[in-house]
Each structure stands twice: as structure tokens, then as C-alpha cells.
Amino acid sequence: MRAPAYSIELTQVFEWNDGVTNSRQDSLAAEEPLEIRVDGRPLSVTMRTPGNDLELAAGFLLTEGIIENREQISSIRAVVPKGAGKSNVVEVELRDVHHEKEELKRNFFSASSCGICGKASIEAIRRRDLVMPNRELRVRPEVLCRLPESLRARQEVFERTGGLHAAALFDREGRLVALREDIGRHNAVDKLAGWALLDGVLPLENLVILVSGRGGFEIIQKALAMGIPIVASVSAPSNLAVKLAREMGLTLIGFLRGKRFVVYSGEFRCLAEAH
């Protein structure tokens, strides 16, 4: 998997190692703002790692409940503002989207660490009529335990910078389907959502999503929007993430490391003895 253009920046640093100082070149994960415009109006500015910007914009619209399917996107394109050297804007034209103008005008300003700043809680998810994901999917514990190593082995930008999150989709046998990296884990998930939306493969009812870091509320709501039955993370989930997962019948796994993991919800999809 090749790193997208502009996702890495080189810089000169000094390294101190056990009393010895060396000057060397280092790689930094790029972080730049992306403005998403809908029907000519600014909708969101998010800090992201450049690359897969169309996917990020499309996935954001899907997981935030602004659109429900690919057919509602009339056009989507990256633009270079006058005087700018590269594109940090994605313009989207929608059709058959029944949102009030004032609702679409509100800005979703999100930092790289939070995808739901200023948003409501589970009640907002209920109003979107998201349904319980596929109850028939089963994944063996041994398969789940292989996923973090597979994820890490394919994180090209992280390997060079040590500064990115990743989200990856796997099938029930642990085969990698798609992977995206970003300075924000919620952006990495939105890039996957945009890939699935634009490629017409939604819902992802037979796949597992693995995210680096913690499994927060925003990751669960985005997984539900994609129809994903199992969410796994290498760190802890939040209390609100667990509450939402239990209410919606989603399998939520945390602390997936080595030969151990903790199931917070939906254990029937991965633990036969817990049935």
C-alpha cells in the first residue's frame, strides 16, 4: 500500500541517543485543514492527513447522516482555491437531500482527536433510524487476534512517521479488505466509509473494522452507518461507546492485543461459549 501524495513531510532534526548527538532527516505525518462544501456552502473544516480526500468528504456526509446512499451525490470534486498550491477543499453537489438550509449551514468543526465535538448523544443516533447490524456474522477469536499485526504491517505512513491512526476492514477469515490512515482515527474511518460508498459496496454487513487507539462513541456511530457488525480496537472503549453498542446490538471489542481481548457488547458474534 503506497502512501498518498502529501501525506508525509520531511524535516531535519537532532537526535540525542545515550550521549551522542546526530543530525538526521525525519518523516512527519502531514496535518492540514480540509474544507467540505455542500451545494456551494461551507459545511465542515476538519484537520486531516492529505490523501483520499474525496473518500473522506463522502464518508463524512454518510456517517454524519447528511446522505444515505451514493445516488444522493450528484458530483464530488477536489478544488484548488485561488492562490493555493494544492487542494484543501472538496465541493459536493447533492440531490434528493431533505435538510433545512440552516441545518446544512451549521459547521462541524472537528479537531484531529474528536469527531463529535458539540454533537448530541445516543438520542441523535436513534433519530437516524439506524438498525441492528447483521446478526449472522461469526468470527473466531483466533482470527480477531491476528488483526492488529496485519493492520500494523500495512501502515506505511505510520511506519515512517509513528504519528498516524489507522482503520482497516477485514473479512471473517481475517483477510484485509481496505485500510486508511489519518492523523485522526475518525477521519480514517470516514475514508473507509467514503471508499465503500463511492464503490457501491455498502452495507458492510460481513466485515470487521479495526481501529488503532480507543473505540470511542464516534467510531461506533460511523460503523453503524456503514452496517458493520463488529468493531474492534487495540485500546479501551468509552462508556458512551459501550452504551450505544449494547443498545444497537453491535459487537464491540477492546484491548485487542496479542492473544487477549475484552468483549463489551455482542459477544455472540465471536465467543461461542458465551451463547
Give the three-state DSSP class for 184: coil
Options 114, 117, 145, 270, the catalytic residue? 114
Pairing between β-strand 176-182 and β-strand 208-211 as defined by DSSP bridges: unpaired
List alpha helices for the chain, DSSP H: 53-63, 101-105, 122-127, 141-153, 156-161, 185-198, 217-226, 239-248
Distance (Å, whole) CA 138 – CA 251: 10
**208 beta partners:** 170, 230
Is 114 part of the annotated catalytic residue set?
Answer: yes
154 with 168: CB under 8 angstroms? yes
List alpha helices for 40-140, DSSP H: 53-63, 101-105, 122-127
Give all strands (DSSP E) within 39-135, no chain letters. 41-48, 73-79, 89-94
Distance (Å, whole) CA 185 – CA 232: 13
Instruction: Go through the chain and tell me how many residues it has.
Output: 275
Number of neighbours of residue 143 by Cβ within 10 angstroms: 17
Distance (Å, whole) CA 49 – CA 182: 5
Give the three-state DSSP class for 118: coil
Residue 149 CA, chain-centre distance (Å), reads 18
Q: Indicate which residues carry an active-site annotation.
A: 114
